[in-house]
Chain A
Amino acid sequence: MSRPTLHANGDASADVVIVGSGVVGGLIADQLAAEGHAVLVLEAGLRIQRDQAVENWRNMPFENRLHSDFQGLYPQSPDAPAPLYFPENHYVGLSGPNGSAFKQGYLRTVGGTTWHWAASSWRHLPVDFRMQSTYGVGRDWAIGYDDLEPYYCRAEEAMGVAGPNDPALQSPAERSKPYPMDMVPWAYGDKRFAEVVNAHGFRSIPIPQARSTRPWNGRPTCCGNNNCQPICPIGAMYNGIHSIESAERKGALVLAQAVVYKIDTDEANRITAVHWYDAERKSHKATGKKFVLACNGIETPRLLLLAANARNPNGIANSSDQVGRNMMDHSGMHCSFVANEPLWIGRGPAQSSCIVGPRDGEFRAQYSATKIILNNISQVAPATEKALAMGLSGKALDEEIRRRAVCGVDLSISLEPLPDPNNRLTLSATRKDPLGLACPDIHYDVGDYVRRGVAAVHEQLKTIGQLFGATDFVINENLNANNHIMGGTIMGADPRDSVVDGDCRAHDHANLWLPGGGAMPSASVVNTTLSMAALGIRAADSISRSLAQA
């Protein structure tokens, strides 16, 4: 076992320095520590405890829980703010026609944002890697599905994904290995929903989930606490913290409250060190052979721009001027209604079934793909809010809450954006964080491709509503963020118009890797985490080979 060296002055040296301790940084740290390399992980935020997050959530006001305040329960380091919305802290400055659709909820904490994800672990489709050559829109990846497929398998293994092993229920079905665990079994509501909609040409299938259906790597079997978002109380759901703790057992050193702000480069433009502020705002330096920035789709491009130096005046890794551009998220919307039959949403984990029929088709030359998740988070809170607003009392109130909770449906719809260089993250000229570092600004326009997709999905949703004799049928007009942040360090074969290569290695710096959502050149319409994890493991292999050559 090899460990990083912490010097008396607080500086550190390691074989590999990883900035960011989320799922991507955690998986890379775990692999490289297992290979015997000295790994240092620098995390801007706090180390938090699961039980405290659970208690904080239970102690949050009803209004916060009703409106899914998944940020407020996680304590923040005063020197590493992340977005808050109750009330808004405006840490990320948003502008543009759809700025309000980019209100991301990401965590800066040891373990990262998968503390409050729903564990959906989808793969991109093979065609998603060839959007430009297939549909004439967007970009092609520098690698193909076949290149990433082995890494998808390894990511599913590392995160303990439970998915359907019946090919008819897979999306995509092109797999070289079965899922590590079979699918999370459906509750009544999932079965009934699929029975009704699939008879009318929809395709609702099981969501592959990084959630244990049997004891897995120290994780217990899911007990259906129905609280995956914002915190799995028992750790049956994979969180980045699992990989971080595993890496620590193998010798990795993880420093919390270590805010990286500066990056040194040598005459060959290799990274020689990163500098961080500790909790006392003292600056320290970490030297290493290989460097990874895996800080999240917003924080990685922000740091690259913040760390501009004499040799890289437009930012680290930014000779292409693409750092911070092509920002994407699966902008989405919700559709809610009360069905004319009981569905008992809320039994089991947060999300188990999803309509994926509109993931692909010739229409993608014209407009966005969509997916429609049957949200399985308990509907009791929204049912109560509505029943109280009706002014009911006594038994009538109880009965109306029950009717709305048992028959209530919430669908979460995601749309597929195209990479657009004008959707851009820049450094604020006026707003600074408590350390004096510029806050991020983001301009966002979902574009006509998504707007046409919205029109298409409205028709699908109306059909679904009719199949359930829906009352109180509402499609939210305002697009919402889904925290699937992509594009800001985009991958490509050409260094002139992209930031990283097919291994997520920076074109400009031979010993710097930028894996994660930022590298993804196409969004597909599915949650990004498994693709991010696969890219992270692929980057870890690349780092490992590079260390062997050194």
Chain B
Amino acid sequence: MPHDPAVSPSASPEAAPSSPSRRRVLLGMASAAPAVGLLGAAALSSHALAADPAPAGTAATAASAELEPATVAAFLKLSQALTAHADISPTTAARIYAALCRQDQGAAVRIATLQGLQQPGQSAATLQQAADAHGLGDLARAIVRAWYTGTVGTGQGAVVVAYAEALMYRTVSDGLIVPTYGNYGPIWWLGEPPPLGVPLIVPAAGKVGA
């Protein structure tokens, strides 16, 4: 996987103000609508809580419990737009938000900026394209990755935010159990599996949001 500065646990906070991504974040905030500015402020105050010194390896739930409800709601809405899934968990949203903020001190500001790019009726791909255009593509992809894999970040700094709820399992839930679960009882797998239901051809790779 390419290195993604938005989720790098080693990103240096001291370097952030002069970094190109920081400048893009500030530009993005300047053009944000007033309502988004409020969300951004809420996010920043929550971030201050989340960024309090915490021992490494703190459970994902610890920091997320301290978030403002409005922060979680805004991040949930952003996540719904980026994943094109309406039915996702506020609890997981709070965990992802907290983990992103803990791994990157600039995350709250950048998330607020990303939230400002949302438009009514916008598709996930269009929002991703807008994020790319504003230098926030990697952050948007990190959020999508977190929802699908249930994990924020990689390597030793990775934080697990969900297991069975990870969106990847939903794509095949009509034919497969989530590994470790025995939902259907003894020798359940004998019947015909459901139809594939999606095109067999390889989609054009890497075009959307690349």
**Chain A residues in contact with chain B, CB under 8 A?**
54, 57-64, 87, 185, 187-188, 213, 220-227, 231, 233-234, 338, 340-342, 344, 346-348, 377-378, 380-381, 383-385, 388-403, 405-407, 471
Q: How far is the CB of A216 from chain B (nearest CB, A)?
A: 12
Cα distance A341–B200 in the bound complex, in angstroms: 7
Contact flags B123-163 to A (C-beta < 8 A → 1, else 0): 11101100000000000010011001111011110111001
Q: Are B156 and A380 in contact (CB under 8 A)?
A: no
Contact of B155 among A63, A344, A347 (CB under 8 A): A63
Judge whether A61 and B160 touch: CB under 8 Å.
yes
9 more A-B contacts (CB under 8 A) besides A399-B171, A403-B196?
A61-B153, A61-B158, A234-B182, A342-B195, A344-B175, A380-B168, A396-B203, A401-B168, A402-B172
CB-based contact A223/B184 at 8 Å: yes
Q: Are A391 and B180 in contact, CB atoms less than 8 angstroms apart?
A: no
CA distance A301 to B131 in the complex (A): 58
Interface contact A391-B198, CB-CB below 8 Å: no
> Is B13 located at the chain interface by the 8 A CB criterion?
no
Name the residue among B125, B155, B200, B202 with the largest chain A CB count within 10 angstroms: B200
CB within 8 Å for A405 and B84 given contacts A380-B171, A393-B144: no
Residues of A contacting B208 in the complex (Cβ-Cβ under 8 angstroms)? 391-393, 396
Which of A62, A220, A393 makes the CB contact (< 8 A) with B186?
A220
Given contacts A188-B193, A394-B84, A402-B172, is CB(A407)–CB(B144) below 8 Å?
no
A398 to B83, CA, bound (A): 9
**Among candidates B148, B186, B196, B207, residue contacting A391 with C-beta atoms closer than 8 Å:** B207
**Assuming A221-B187, A384-B168, A396-B203, is B83 touching A63 (CB within 8 A)?**
no
Nearest CB in chain A: distance from B119 CB, A: 15
B156/A87 in contact, CB under 8 A: yes
Closest to B132 in A: A391
Residues of chain A within 8 A of B55, CB atoms compared: none
Query: Given the complex, which residues of B lie within 8 Å of A63, measured CB to CB?
Result: 151, 154-155, 158
Task: Knowing A222-B187, A388-B141, say if A402 contacts B197 (CB, 8 Å).
Answer: yes
The 4 residue pairs across chains A and B that have the minimum distance between CB atoms: A394-B124, A223-B182, A394-B84, A61-B158
Contact of B199 among A57, A188, A399 (CB under 8 A): A399
A227 to B177, CA, bound (A): 10
Report the bound CA distance from A347 to B184 in whole Å: 11
Contacts of A400 in B (CB 8 A): 198, 203
Q: How many A-B residue pairs have CB under 8 A?
A: 176
Q: Which B residues lie at the A interface, using CB under 8 A? A: 1, 82-84, 123-125, 127-128, 141, 144-145, 148-151, 153-156, 158-160, 163-164, 166-172, 175-177, 179-182, 184-190, 192-193, 195-200, 202-203, 205-210
Partner of B179, one of A87, A226, A402, A471: A226
CB-CB under 8 A from A384, the residues of chain B are: 148-149, 168
Among B153, B176, B196, B197, point to the contact of A380 (Cβ < 8 A): B176
Q: For residue A340, which residues in chain B have a CB less than 8 angstroms away from its CB?
A: 200
CA distance A4 to B190 in the complex (A): 48
- Which of B1, B160, B167 meets A60, CB within 8 Å? B160
A220, A224, A400 interface centre (most CB from chain B within 10 Å): A224
Contact among B1, B159, B172 for A389, CB-based, below 8 A: B1
Most buried by A among B125, B153, B176: B176
Residues in A neighbouring B209, C-beta threshold 8 A: 391-393
How long is the Cα–Cα vector from A262 to B202 in the complex, in angstroms?
Answer: 61
19 inter-chain pairs at a CB distance below 8 angstroms, sorted by A residue, are A58-B163, A59-B160, A62-B160, A188-B193, A221-B187, A223-B188, A224-B189, A227-B179, A377-B179, A381-B149, A384-B168, A390-B205, A391-B209, A398-B170, A398-B171, A400-B198, A400-B203, A402-B196, A406-B196
Output the nearest chain A residue to B152 by Cβ-Cβ distance: A61
* Interchain CB contact under 8 A, B171 and A224: no
Chain A residues whose C-beta falls within 8 Å of the C-beta of B184 in the assembled complex? 223-224
Q: Is the CB of B176 within 8 A of A347?
A: yes
User: Which residue of chain A is the closest to B190 with respect to CB atoms?
Assistant: A185
CA distance A341 to B127 in the complex (A): 33
Across the interface, name the chain A residue whose C-beta is closest to B186: A221
Contact of A348 among B124, B144, B189, B199 (CB under 8 A): B189
Known A58-B163, A392-B208; judge A344-B176 contact (CB<8 A). yes
A397 near B193 (CB under 8 angstroms)?
A: no
Bound Cα distance from A383 to B170, whole angstroms: 13
What A residues does B185 contact at CB under 8 A? Answer: 223
Bound together, the chains give a CA A405 to CA B200 distance in angstroms of: 12
- A153 → B minimal CB distance (Å): 25
Decide if A347 touches B189 in the complex (CB within 8 Å): yes
Checking B175, B198, B210 against A347 with a beta-carbon cut-off of 8 angstroms, the contacting residue is B175
Q: Give Cα A227 to B168, complex, Å.
A: 17
